Structure 1
């Protein structure tokens, strides 16, 4: 792990505040990767659903420079940060959570990245009913027991919380190599958090039975109230389920299928 850290650590990517964060009791953080400055149909669906929830929305947009942020993005979010393209999703999470800890201390936060379609169900009950300070939507024992980081909820985000999570949300460093992010951040998040807070997940997949619940049982999860569908089921993980089944379910859920 030390070798991975030394080999792949880099300075945190450049960033800028485009629309200021103000004090709110709850924030939804949505990280979207848009190198060409174009909002996809999936981005627009997610943004609309999050806006319809009535929860304050902070978007972290990764694109080549702040001038390429989609022009209509400012109107659909309550706060907006630009991030340079390097650093992977944890660099966006780190920047958003640290900024919330400074400008909206004590807020409960739902964090989502654009590797998922959705949400297809209301996210507010997760915050209202979860007994944990850190709540994963799914967890897996693949590699080690861990919360899957495409989406999670974190309560009471303040400076002390972020200090205790600094071994995962590195304040000044980031990683652009996916395997480094998995080894040093995603698979360590729950373990580091458990030192100072209660941690749990809504759905768990034991790797010896279900390699990854979001890939192996995507429609079963949706039927059980799971709010997301992984985008990779139409790309690098399309071998897990027939493409037509994914598109059919998206259409049934009202999601654009011209992807």
Structure 2
């Protein structure tokens, strides 16, 4: 896509930016003049971006990541994109260790990072936070019950925090994708992916750059009356 966004001079932290949707967001930000630091548990090699090894389930990692940026670094944008889907299974058979990790990465991790970064935005009296949720959090999808619950928590967090800090000129929004063509989705297996495609009115998976463009727009002044909102990205699949 050739769309451009006025992000020149801004600085963003993108969690989960080493690959997939997070990487697409980081690359689009960089292409539009935004400085980027990627926080990921895996090493990120994105040309032009700074990076730090940050496991968002570990508060010490998050504190270290902020310390490496320095106290003087302005943070204009936070994109909470790090996520973990786990395996598709019935809830009665879902290993507790796995569903606990889903909650810890997706919901608790988003909360940890946001709580750590938010004071800088409040001090600046400006900022944009975009949380990546999921269609599963809006509707509840069988076979990925824990992921649905964690995503629903992200949506509720977005709505509540967006209302709480709107007067501080810090806007919080959520993008809730349906199935996007990523390794995380493909790893569910071809039968599951085929059903996802058949359930989509557009009869395809979404593309990671399509998600990135919506996130970028939410971080510009064009989106200056949106906070506490959840933006569908499901190709018409969402029913609520």
TM-score, normalization by structure 2: 0.37
TM-score, normalization by structure 1: 0.35
Query: Larger relative contact order (C-alpha < 8 A, sep ≥ 6)?
Result: 1
Q: Which is richer in helix? A: 2
